[in-house]
Structure 1
């Protein structure tokens, strides 16, 4: 028996690939397996090749696999594009309708199943995804009743007749392929899972859940890939807690509405991708100048412009750190796991209010949309901190304003809400004195700039850098951000087998940069490899700027729209560090 396996389904967008993957993975999750999914999809609503890949394991996993064990194909294009990933002895389950053929040189077993024909016999070709699912599930020798439960969950709202037909489609697909194969394939028999139920979600859902837990009650946003699932999640959840989602006419309206609602005291957020973040830049400056809390999620995708809207990239770092005109304090944090997406979202709201600054949560498409197993979340860790928000204020003398922008030792001023007695103050986007009244006085300008820019001097989020460096002086230190952590872990394991002493750091606080925490590890390592999905080494540039040691830093970049594979990181690390000679 084997401890892990990789399964992929491919076809044209709109053929049911997504629902097939969802049901297949839901059934595996019910059995207690750890799962890690990657969705490759076209930027069209319908048509264009799409595939979903799931890695299944009895142990925790946080990366897509290098190879592929089973491919389910609805067309020849899916075979041609994905068969090269198949390991020797792999399996292809394909619709007999298109007379499937394996490309030359592919060592795999092909099962041509009348997927469409069976579905049409049952009343509609739309059920071909269930026929295909049943066939591939049966080859693994997994219990069919668990799969049928997932089918019932997916289609139950459509009535028992629809559920019954889909269950029958699964059964016929399973029976056909088992007759062809002579029973389940022993080479693909998975070891039993632990049976424990695990959370199984995408990063966007975890961010949505964190948003609710943080006490946010309004999301203003405009739909955009790959951020829309946050909005879709909160549309369902926020009304249950007295909140709502407002779909605005564009991202400019979304961010300014969020600023206004936060000013009024409601915890509010917005979410977008690179193009939307660009439109928000002037308003982010407004939040910085007026010292309003603001939480923004940027789910990075391929750019510039429309770019590759459905593909992986990590190229917005510079925009998040430097994007606004003028100079304001802001915070950029980068979750590295599904759990981080939840906890960091809560922390983002706390930081935004404690320091009265914009906070940007930086994710990437793989982390945002890749569905993964995660351990149960600890809601006892949730803490709501509202900083210097003051609701009970002494009554002011006539014609005296509240010092909303008071010069304080820590740079954070007291904050009142509109309508609070004793909290009357002036607020605009121009430079101002302590009461908010416009001022162009040079000394006042310097004091206000110093106040704003100094308030983050001591900010350090929990695990600003996540460190796994077991060796005192590692030969190779690999640094990444966002979704790359699990891929680096697997590459490191292979490097250690080659005799290299390795370490790994995920940078989670991008700005202000945690130089003091990171620098000692740079000093101790022989070679530092910075891994990122962009073309201009933006994270490496931050490290060199704040920590130095440019002579030992090497950049490993990928910007073709795909995430890194463990084998790519392993091989490149060997070449960059000459680990083969160690």
Structure 2
């Protein structure tokens, strides 16, 4: 079967209910058996500004990534119409409100219609809405449902399937008026298809038994992983784009009817991290979630947790910085800050999920790592993964039992127990919990093995060395890099290193480079500190240039790799993406080809 991967931009106004309508279309395509990916590109205001929704679907799972141009573009927000003409591919389709006709012809970019052979389709929204009895504010919202039904017919999605999705989305009090709008939009699409104004896509033979059977975003995956890991306390403060992690935990907790996780909204991030540390110290499996500005506020407390050896999990759903930055745009800009999160010789264990499935598995793993090593573990997701729905595979319940590390009440009694001793010579002490006979004062100041205050130079150097060795021992249990290669005969080749959401475009980049007679070896980083042994074997026998691709301006992963493996620095070239939009395969491929010339 020939691969297909159509794409669509929808330009609307923020606060008009467009996201709900767009997700109905996305869900319809998913339930029809396609692999799907979406990008909700929205402003950081409540209502009024422009918002765009990107949707791509395919019979191949890796061909659902973001593109800067699409095959179809629907515009019902006049202020962006001229700019949107730049986002349509050659021989693409522009769908507009019929009221925009004259304004379109006077747009500076109108010449692109003829140059790129773009078809223009006009929907008479005003005339359609006259057939619906509803108040004016409701009618404004119904434009989105008319658009959704129009597009569903053009994309040849079964009407009964779409009606079922509509019923799932809306409550009874607003279902009927949305159904009416949907039917009228469908009727308009059939009319325009019959008139030859727009071509209906063929009904593709989809993979109904495909392995991707869930439609979720990374924050849903994270919430599922947190609850599956037995999290008992989740303290948080609202911040875009991590807020929905907590909201999903509360929703899932209620659905499970176990109320196993106490979810507390604190007054600020300082309180959130302090409550989480307190819960971890008391023996609970505890976590919080935030974004860059919140992580900055949590830094000092995380240094305390590292030094006092208290287990907890912190999710950082990254957004565009510095400072407040662009709260609703994506980035991988927190990596270097997170790697050494606090002052002094503090180092972090970081997990780097690249999709919703890994948001589940890595959140689950993070709790066991934190408790086995008695230390904070950070999970760096980003807005692109966290807030955008995409198809993914079944999430299986982990086969391993929950691990709580070395606790004094579960260990054979140790003579002369000390809270910071290393009796097993694995750099990890035996921890006691409140209520036991083995009490100690948990200090953020210098301390000896007994937990007593100490400024002894030899004692302090031994303490820091043990903490460093404990940190390095995490490499035995953190996810290692994954290496894939394209085995094609070619005159030239490259190596690629990426991580997080950037991973989602790499397979498409590999295929595009193959068409340019260029082979690709790819290493996907899944955690920090780096597994330098695996990375050395990847780099040492290669004379190929190595491109490190990431979504920040300073090449932060390149900095960390160069610091760990300076002997390979001359092989590295950064490809950085930092405009707030998701990274796309075509721009990366173009930069690699240009670099090889």
Q: TM-score, normalised by structure 2?
A: 0.91
Q: Distance in 1 between matches of 2:411 and 2:376?
A: 25
Count of residue pairs the alignment pairs up: 570
Match of 2:182 in 1: 170
Structure 1 unaligned blocks of 5 or more:
none
Residues 78-157 of structure 1 aligned to structure 2 (within 5 Å): 78-99=80-101, 101=104, 103-106=110-113, 107-119=117-129, 121-122=131-132, 123=134, 124-125=138-139, 126-155=141-170, 157=171
- Counterpart secondary structure, 1:391: helix
Kept in 1: contact 2:443–2:451 (CA 8 A) = yes
Residues 367-382 of structure 1 aligned to structure 2 (within 5 Å): 367-382=385-400
Match of 1:3 in 2: 4
Match of 2:531 in 1: 514
Compute the displacement of 1:14 (Å): 0.6
Kept in 2: contact 1:346–1:382 (CA 8 A) = no
- Counterpart secondary structure, 2:518: coil
Asked if 1:504 is matched to 2:522, the reply is yes
Q: Distance in 2 between matches of 1:492 and 1:393?
A: 51
Compute the displacement of 1:271 (Å): 0.7
Q: Distance in 1 between matches of 2:46 and 2:365?
A: 35
Q: Distance in 2 between matches of 1:179 and 1:186?
A: 11
- Counterpart secondary structure, 1:458: helix
Distance 1:439 1:151, change over 3 A: same
Match of 2:72 in 1: 70
Distance 1:34 1:383, change over 3 A: farther
Compute the displacement of 1:392 (Å): 4.5
Distance 1:114 1:344, change over 3 A: same
Asked if 1:304 is matched to 2:305, the reply is no
Kept in 2: contact 1:297–1:362 (CA 8 A) = yes
Q: Distance in 2 between matches of 1:2 and 1:393?
A: 57
Partner deviation per Cα, 1:415-459 (whole Å, 9 max, x = no partner): 121112x32222121121222121112222122111111112232
Kept in 1: contact 2:72–2:93 (CA 8 A) = yes
Ranges of 4+ aligned residues in structure 1 off by more than 6 Å? 393-397
Kept in 2: contact 1:203–1:341 (CA 8 A) = yes
Partner deviation per Cα, 1:34-63 (whole Å, 9 max, x = no partner): 111111110111121111111111221252
Q: Distance in 1 between matches of 2:130 and 2:213?
A: 36
Which of 551, 559, 566 aligns to 2:585? It is: 566
Q: Distance in 1 between matches of 2:443 and 2:290?
A: 26
Compute the displacement of 1:186 (Å): 4.6
Distance 1:376 1:395, change over 3 A: closer
Asked if 1:410 is matched to 2:426, the reply is yes
Distance 1:120 1:284, change over 3 A: farther
Which of 294, 305, 309 aligns to 1:276? It is: 294
Q: TM-score, normalised by structure 1?
A: 0.93
Distance 1:78 1:173, change over 3 A: farther
Asked if 1:451 is matched to 2:469, the reply is no
Kept in 1: contact 2:32–2:157 (CA 8 A) = no
Distance 1:394 1:348, change over 3 A: closer
Could you say what the CA RMSD is over the residues aligned between the two structures, in angstroms?
Answer: 2.2
The more displaced of 528-537 and 439-448 is 439-448
Kept in 1: contact 2:50–2:77 (CA 8 A) = no
Kept in 2: contact 1:295–1:359 (CA 8 A) = yes
- Counterpart secondary structure, 2:104: coil
Compute the displacement of 1:234 (Å): 0.9
Structure 2 unaligned blocks of 5 or more:
none
